[in-house]
Amino acid sequence: MAQTTEPAGTAGRVSGFRSAELGWPRLERIPHPPRRLPLLGDVLGVHPRTPVQDSVAMAARLGPIFRRRAFGKEFVFVWGAGLTADLADESRFAKHVGVGVANLRPVAGDGLFTAYNHEPNWQLAHDVLAPGFSREAMGGYHPLMLDVARQLLAHWDEGERAGTAVDVPGDMTKLTLETIARTGFGHDFGSFERDRPHPFVTAMVGTLAFAQRRNTVPVALAPLLLRGAERRNAADTALLNSTVDEVVAARARDGGGQGDLLDRMLEVAHPATGERLSAENIRRQVITFLVAGHETTSGALSFALHYLAQHPAVLARAQEEVDRVWGPTGEPGYEQVAKLRYVRRVLDESLRLWPTAPGFAREAREDTVLGGVHPMRRGAWALVLAGALHRDPEAWGEDAEEFDPDRFAPQAVRSRPAHVFKPFGTGARACIGRQFALHEATLVLGLLLRRYDLLPEPGYRLKVAERLTLMPQGLRLRLNRRSAGTGAGA
Ligand code: HEM
């Protein structure tokens, strides 16, 4: 097994769901909602389509650690700053592949995101692919990111000229899918030439929604209740596989040399052991990157655009920054993107209120005591609820529900405890694509802000759709082309 960094742990080599009573000997110390029904559990007042938002609402009532039971499965949720910091201690805790993530195993197998800590392919793929996210690699992706962004601008120009509102989540999904597909795999899905989403996107949304749904259906009833959904899911999975197989076959036919993620997967051996990724694992990784590499970023961009449109003063300040920092330059260079400090704060603040990957699970490497109060057996796990952590008044103040990008001004960040902002997870299994996502999203926001004023649709109230990730639903914006600082080329 490749071993250049500390493995994420071998705790709890248990696959499949592990209910909390097996791992938490003093479960009675953890509060649960008051009206628990026999057999059904804590289902009153909750909706199967919004488990995350329901949990965040419960968190405020039940405190920094709580549990929910549904159909015989008990989950522990953690969101208090102190307990989250404890779970971030890599010497005692590691990623847990559970709940929604484990449901993606049939699609993504031992790909980076869904691999169990003890699976050798995690370390192998991590070490082979990490250089694909170095500063140098990112600099190479930048021109391709600009190409895709230009397609978005052309599309939005049409909307602006026609006076029609643009479909924000739909267009952000086109943008981010094209970006990861082209930068990572040299593949063009042609999303902007299509009226409807690419079938890959439809299949992906189907598998994510199915993975979430499987958590909310009793195991015993799943064969009955999910029969039709299982069939659709099998078809979706087959489409994901065949799309990816085509992408890989095209590279084999046309030859490599791009130095992108796919080249790394196909050609690069592990620096220490000389091992290579197998064909089956490459398939899993390509699916993983195509899905993980676009869905969450498109949500982050969509929420940011929503808040910008709702807060004219923030919009004006962000536009002023882009005009000042980029000036009339047609093509912002790689280095110019990170200089948009305020735009980046807008993005961080949007990810604070709506972390588009709404949580991550942590398991005990050995028997331990969480926060000095809650004993956990080896392999016991808890879900960190980022949406609640990010709205904790103790960490963020009484106005935690308000949108205010200045919370991410350097001094404000320094004054907060560590581990209260976790949109990208934590530790060895934190997001490998963090810099990629931030660069892409800041670049695109800069280009959009420079070109348009954003106007909300009258009466729109934010509604958030859940399919493992979070996405604003039905968000449309009207655009006005600005006269200042629109830059020539992009
Ligand atoms: C705003 C955008 C993004 C957010 C909020 C996000 C969030 C996350 C989170 C929370 C995790 C950890 C999950 C866990 O602990 O179970 C994660 C892991 C991961 N992300 Fe991201 N992500 C984003 C963008 C990206 C992009 C652009 C890529 C690829 C280009 C990517 C690829 C991955 C991969 C491969 C992992 C698994 C890493 C490992 O376990 O070794 N993500 N992401």
Domain extent listing, the chain: 20-481
Pocket of ligand 1 contains residue 288 by CB under 6 Å: yes
The answer, as to whether pTM is greater than 0.85, is: yes
Whether the per-residue pLDDT at 364 is higher than 60: the answer is: yes
- pLDDT confidence of residue 2: 32
Confidence of residue 7 (pLDDT cuts 50, 70, 90): very low
Top mutation candidate among 431, 438, 439, 442 for ligand 1, by most atoms within 8 Å of CB: 431
Give the pLDDT confidence score for residue 17 in this predicted structure: 63
The mean predicted confidence, pLDDT, of the chain is: 90
**Which residues pair with residue 11 across a beta bridge?**
none
Dig out the tokens for 152 from the structure.
């978005």
Please identify every residue annotated as catalytic: 296, 424, 431
pLDDT of the residue at 279: 92
Q: Which of 356, 371, 381 is nearest to 441 (CA)?
A: 356
- The mean pLDDT of 125-143, rounded to a whole number, is 94
Higher pLDDT, 252 or 223: 252
The amino acid sitting at 405 is: P
Determine the average pLDDT of the residues in 88-98. Answer: 96
CA of 293 to the centre of ligand 1 (A): 7
pLDDT reading at 431 higher than 70:
yes
- Token match 């400090």: residue? 341
For the chain, what percent of residues have pLDDT higher than 70?
A: 93
Could you identify the atom of ligand 1 that is nearest to the CA of residue 438? 1
Q: What are phi and psi of 69, to 5 degrees?
A: -120, 135
Residues 313 and 2: their CA atoms lie apart, in Å, by 51
Give the per-residue pLDDT at 484: 59
pLDDT, one tens digit per residue, over 149-196 is: 999 999 999 999 999 999 999 999 999 999 999 999 999 999 999 888
- Residue 350 or 50, more confident: 350
Residue type, 125: A
119-147 mean pLDDT = 95
Residues 6+ apart with CB under 8 A from 118: 7, 10, 13
Encoded tokens for 128: 């082979």
Do the bridges between strand 73-78 and strand 381-385 make them parallel or antiparallel, or are there none, so unpaired? parallel
Is residue 223 over pLDDT 80? no
CATH architecture of 20-481: Orthogonal Bundle (1.10)
261 lines ligand 1 (CB under 6 A): no
Query: For the segment 268-309, what is each residue's pLDDT rounded down to a tens digit?
Result: 999 999 999 999 999 999 999 998 989 999 999 999 999 999
- pLDDT of 450 above 50: yes
Residues 325, 330, 335, 340: what is their CA dihedral angle, to the nearest 10 degrees?
A: 30
